[in-house]
Amino acid sequence: QPTPNPARSQVTQRVRSPEASVARHATSVTGDDNVLLVLATQLLPAFNTKTAFTATAVIAGVYNLVGWRVIAATGGVYVGLYGYERLKYTERAMERKFKQQFCDYASIKLHDIVTYTGNCCSTQVQRDLSSTLSRLLTSINGGINVLKTQIATLSAELSRSKDVYDSATSKRILNDHCRDELEHFLKLFSVT
């Protein structure tokens, strides 16, 4: 029977039983500062995912770097802030927060409504102005046509009046001429 190789048997034992490796490592680590590292190495076989292993490695690294007092202080501050926020978030605070959210939502909706209404009003005003302009243009065109007709009528009457005036003037001149001749004839023949 071949003699077993002691180095090979240790490798086989490590591969077969990770708990034995952890226990052997835990017994070799001493001191209070390495308790978290020991716990992490004891829990290491329970982690099957890469993320859990990475998280454990990071925690162990931070623990070795800063110590348990800093981690405890950070945890205490976090728990204190969480407790403060939890105690501060009462019914009144929830109501105030809800009112604030409602006011924000309502102001956004009112802004949208004002914008929409403004656009609709602008369109309506534009339409009303266009219809009023077309009515005014129609009325002005009708007034212009009436004025043109009246101007043509007045021009015709003015032309007739001018013709009558010219005719009256020429007849008056003729009448004056006839009267002068009549007076001259009467003087000439002395018919009194």
Task: Kindly report the three-state secondary structure assignment for every residue of the chain.
Answer: CCCCCHHHHHHHHHHHCHHHHHHHHHHHCCCCCCHHHHHHHHHHHHCCCHHHHHHHHHHHHHHHHHCHHHHHHHHHHHHHHHHHHHHHCCHHHHHHHHHHHHHHHHHHHHHHHHHHHHHHHHHHHHHHHHHHHHHHHHHHHHHHHHHHHHHHHHHHHHHHHHHHHHHHHHHHHHHHHHHHHHHHHHHHHCCC
The pTM assigned to this predicted structure is: 0.35
**pLDDT tens over the chain, length 192 residues:** 555 554 444 444 444 444 444 444 444 444 555 666 666 566 655 556 677 778 777 877 877 787 778 778 888 898 999 888 888 878 888 888 899 999 999 999 999 998 888 888 888 889 999 999 999 999 999 999 999 999 999 999 999 999 999 999 999 999 999 999 988 888 888 755
